[in-house]
A and B are shown apart, each in its own frame.
Chain A
């Protein structure tokens, strides 16, 4: 079955860092460029995220996503370079259209911040198993029900996609054409949606029963199958990041 997770199995220090520390990193990476809104903070934070992706040996896997986001941000650079409100200094001209320095710097700030956020999230998504993330959150007090909903999404969606394939095959076997014109595809939709919804309802009912017979609703704290994933320096890293954020706030207030 196709997996919905983007997790990449690698042997690296970043993979060994616990999910909570990675979540704290995301929060810090988002907060810092906001607290210190200079261009330098933005590109330094972005660079750190990319370096961590490299250390996790997932930089290659993140390039398509970074490239896609970068392509969209290119439009920001173009629009701001030409039309930013505070534009004064002309950098170059494209025909009769002047491209301004102020607009470029403004757009670069947005671009670096956006890529920083994307990079920070990619660190979590590419180097953390979804099940580990959910289990860590449940250990930290997240409701097991919500935890189950989150983790089951990663299983149910690929399962539904497999079911859709089977159902499509079953209807094509009865002569239903699913390829070709748009109208043909629209017509093919109805015979698929009924069995898909029904299968999903049956699956949901069976999952509910399977959970109930295994004591999912029992009250009180539960034990876990896996050992809690704790990185040796995780605590030090979290406190360090908190200290940096607090330091940035103080710097902002004083300076």
Chain B
């Protein structure tokens, strides 16, 4: 088949009916525009909402859980080796919260190729003393650098600087709701009492806002050293190791293997936050469904217009066939017309979809949840553009296929005799 000639004929037919062509192409353009804008926006929102949790949640968390000891004395007693003992009123034992050998474990994890980074933490339960009132709170001892790199700690600091935790001795960053309760400003000193009764004075170097009110009411951050001092522990004392992976999907498998290798408890993000996965999946599904519906509607528009064009061009088709064009050539002409509409409409759709995304990305959007977010989020993922253009070509091809087949089956004798 002579493709150049086919394209040439298709082009002439298109130009002769450029208004109809334009209407068909505008249908596709609209579909693709909305598809791109909707998916980018939805995906941006998804990332934002997931980020609320996922950004701050480690993919794997290593810790020692409080629970009854696995090996009770009775199971070690030789006389009961081959029996099943029943123990009632079993209590959790005095398991140390500390992770043994935390230094070597952290080093080993950092060398693991699947691991993006490791952040050791300590949690300390304390009371914030505000005059006669004691407020229950938690101090998280963190490695500021690792925390910022892995968990976007910086993004949630609304006053002061995160790095001050390292440079200012005995310093603390308070949750904004906690700070309001304590009527504390940056630079003020707050007093805390630990669970063992020790009293400390800490300097407030900043506030953070997570967007979860309950979280902000109780949480505060200090450096690992400061927290170890508050708890009266050595500089090796670590209660949690928080791991971020390159591939989040490997978390459940790796968590199991880490738990076995290092003899600790390991919790993966999927188990800890399964509902977020479901939420973002459903949201993506809805946006894809709406986008694809728009394209299918555009496809019907193309189908209609091509059908009309074929009725109008019966004479042309008959003459082409009489002068030696086979049915498949005629079919190719109409398929080329359909795909040209799809390609033209699709590319304009991609461009205006990108434009609309940029516009949405500039609409102001203030939320307490994310202090760094000032406008509606957009995910400029090239994948959406790829899906958009492929889908526009596929729909137009399918929409053109039936009319093209009809055109190829037209009997020139009937048309020529008809007059």
Q: Do A and B bind each other?
A: no
